[in-house]
Every structure is written in C-alpha cells, then in structure tokens.
Amino acid sequence: MKKVLFIIVLSQFLCTSLWFAGNAILPELIQKLGVSNNFLAHSTSAIQLGFILGTLFYALFSIADRYSPSLVFFISALLAGFFNLGVNLPELTPTLLLMVRFLTGFFLAGIYPIGIKIAADYYQQGLGKSLGYLVGALVLGTAFPHFIKSFTLNLPWQYVTYATSLFSVIGGLLLFVLVPDGPYRTAGKSFRMMAVFDAFKNKELTSAAVGYFGHMWELYAFWTFVPLMIQNYYRHHQPLETNSSLLSFYVIAIGSLACVFSGYLSKVVGTKKLSKIILFLSGFCCLISPLFLQVNSEAWFLAFLFFWSFVVIADSPLFSTLIAQKAPQNMKGSVITMVNCIGFFITIVSIQLISYFMDDSNELYLFTILAIGPVIGLYFLKTKDN
C-alpha cells in the first residue's frame, strides 16, 4: 500500500507541473505577444476556467465512477501534456495562448480530483494522511515550473513547457501501469443530476464544501500573485538582484510540507478542528499582509510570506478528506469533482477582482479582500467538530 501511495503522489506531482507552466514563462510570453501585465490574471483564469468546465464534464458523465480511474488519469495526462505544448506554437497569438491554456486546464480535471478519488479507493483509514501527501504533490507540481525556469535562464523559455509536458506523460503512464483500481472502489451507475445535489443534503458535507470554497477564494489568488509580491518588494527596497523565479518556487513549494504536516497532525487534533484553526490563520495573514509586504526588514517579509504560504494550503487535504468521507460511496468521484468545479470557479473571481483593481496605490492593501473566503468558510464550519 505504501508503494501505491508513492506512485499516486509522484504521478500527481509530475502531472500537475503543467498548472503554472504558463505563469512561469509569462514575462517572455508578454514580450512575445505584446500584451500588458494584466495578462497574468487572464492566463491563470483561462486554465482555471478549463479546469472548471473539465470537472463539470467529468462529474456530469460520472467519468471517474463509471470507468477505471487509472485509465481516466492516464488519458487525461496525455491530453493535458499535448495541449500544454501549444504555448510553443510559432504563430502564437493571445487568443490562441488562452485557448491552449484552457484546454490544458480542461484535462487537468482528469488528474487532480481523480488522484484524490484513487487515493480514497485505497485508503479509508488514514485518508487524511494520504491526502496530505497527495495535495502536497499538487503544491510542489504547481511550484515546479518556477524552479525549472530558474535553472533554464540561459535556455529558450520553451524548455519549461517541453519539460512539464514530458513529466505529465511519465506521470500518467506510471499511475496507469502500477496502480490498478483500488479495493474500496464502487463502480457508479449512469449519471443522475439530482443524485449529486441530493448528496449535499448532508449538512456535514455541505459545511466541509463551503469551508473548501472559502479556502479556494484565497489560495490560487495568493499563488498567482506571489511572484508579483516578490518583484514589487525588491523593486521598492533594493535592486532586484534576487532570482525571483527561484524564490517564488521556494515560497509556493513550502506548502507541500504544510500538507504532509497537517495530514499527520489531523490524527491528533481532529480533521475538522484543525481545518478551522488553519483557515483562521490564513485569513489572519490576509488581514495583516499590508504590514509585512512593506516592512523594511527583508527577513520579516520573507518569514511572513513563507508562513502565509504554509497556512494557505495546509487545510486543503483536510477539506478534501472531509468531503471524501461524507460523500456517498458510489458517487464519491462525482461529488469530489463537482466540489472542485465550484471551488475553481471561485478562484477566477478572486484572481480577476485583484487584477482589475490593482495599481501602484493599493498593491499593498488589496490582498486583504482575500480574507472574505476564510471568514465565510469559518462561519459554515461552526457545526460540531468531528
């Protein structure tokens, strides 16, 4: 069973490296296409929108419940890797770039939530710990394009997409060959729309889902603008000699350790109680962010950014665990996928909201609005702890 978890985690890491591949090379793409810096939000939103519609498609047709999840994961990884290469097209236009990022996101819907489904099919006991590793792999995969970029500064930027597409193919193949359907898998029947919505009559499932939505309001907006926070800080405080790509990788990647840590700690504290504590801490970071994004001490700035990155993701495997535990057994894949769909729609709203209103006069204060999500999530999580 440990071997299975290792393969799932490794495959998830390799495949989700596609997610921010476009963001890592965005400065080069902006120069190539002649677009404004606001294109960062549009590019991120395109892949998020693709993921949303992809999750909706996978959920509506109960793909992960009706067919082998390992096969679904493999085919999705191949297609996502293929469309990721579209960024390298010689006649690339802004519209075409948004289209290929959208399609990459569409097939990522067959990777991230399906990986959670596969883990849930193998681990009923200790699911929180397993999902801690799994979401940690997502975080590391998300950060990894920044790492690749930092070491390929003297190479054409296209190497980032070549590498991430290759990783996706390898990850999909590893999982398909080495991870058969889990012992706790229950094959679903044909899709029934109302059955998915009926599942949310369970108040514990609903509260966990809303907690997850509040977490998502903050998470991807934070990840999207981390490089900008770093660049703005060093622009105002000292010459930008820092490798911002590498520092962005470190800041985002620390979240992988947070997921593993919270997965283990949940066995002691309790999954729901710990998720509330972490959600409170990340919301508090949003509120105090203006103090640290302009502090004169580089050490305090970096310490705050790393702590915020740690708590902004640490509750993700906890919410995924609660949702997987409360979802009906024969619709687990569809429920998880539907919750992901709604959650990622929320990320587009927060990302575009910040991008629309951001200017030099408010760039230090605008991130306080990310606290809205944790506040709403905490309100709905007031029900009795597990």
Q: What does the DSSP assignment read for 293-358?
A: HS-S-HHHHHHHHHHHHHHHHHTHHHHHHHHHHHS-GGGHHHHHHHHHHHHHHHHHHHHHHHHHH-
pLDDT digits (tens, 9 = 90+) for 29-81: 888 888 877 787 888 889 999 999 998 888 777 787 778 889 999 999 999 99
pLDDT digits (tens, 9 = 90+) for 97-106: 999 999 999 9
Name the pTM for this structure. 0.82
Total tally of structural domains belonging to the chain:
1
Q: For residue 284, is it within any domain?
A: yes
Mean pLDDT of 342-356: 91
> In the predicted model, what is the mean pLDDT of the chain?
86
pLDDT digits (tens, 9 = 90+) for 152-164: 666 788 888 999 9
Q: For residue 386, is it within any domain?
A: no
Between 331 and 204, residue with greater pLDDT: 204
Asked if the model's pLDDT at residue 187 lies above 70, the reply is no
Asked if the model's pLDDT at residue 264 lies above 60, the reply is yes
Alpha helices in 270-297 (DSSP H): 271-293
The pLDDT assigned to 253 comes to: 93
Q: What proportion of the chain, given as a percentage, has pLDDT over 70?
A: 91
The pLDDT assigned to 245 comes to: 81
Between 385 and 122, residue with greater pLDDT: 122
Mean pLDDT of 89-93: 88
Q: For residue 142, is it within any domain?
A: yes
The pLDDT assigned to 374 comes to: 96
Mean pLDDT of 194-210: 82
The answer to which of 216-225, 271-280, 299-308, 329-338 has the lowest mean pLDDT is 329-338
Asked if the model's pLDDT at residue 112 lies above 90, the reply is no
Contacts of 197 (CB under 8 A, 6+ apart): none
Distance (Å) of CA 68 to CA 26, 53, 108, 264:
36, 21, 17, 29
The pLDDT assigned to 85 comes to: 94
Asked if the model's pLDDT at residue 299 lies above 70, the reply is yes
Asked if the model's pLDDT at residue 291 lies above 90, the reply is yes
Q: What is the DSSP letter of 189?
A: -
Judge contact between 327 and 124, C-beta under 8 A.
Answer: no
The pLDDT assigned to 158 comes to: 86
Q: For residue 89, is it within any domain?
A: yes
**CA gap 340, 209 in Å, rounded:** 9
The pLDDT assigned to 114 comes to: 87
Judge contact between 338 and 59, C-beta under 8 A.
Answer: yes
Provide the pLDDT confidence category of residue 191 given band limits of 50, 70 and 90.
low
Residue 100 sits in which domain range?
2-180+193-380
The pLDDT assigned to 40 comes to: 79
Structure tokens at 334: 């569809």
Cβ count near 285 (within 10 Å): 24
Q: For residue 188, is it within any domain?
A: no
Mean pLDDT of 179-198: 67
Mean pLDDT of 343-354: 92
**CA gap 30, 39 in Å, rounded:** 7
Most confident of 11-15, 21-25, 263-267: 11-15
Mean pLDDT of 91-98: 90
The pLDDT assigned to 386 comes to: 46
Mean pLDDT of 335-349: 86
Kindly report the CATH number assigned to the domain that includes residue 163.
1.20.1250.20
The pLDDT assigned to 235 comes to: 82
Q: What proportion of the chain, given as a percentage, has pLDDT over 90?
A: 46
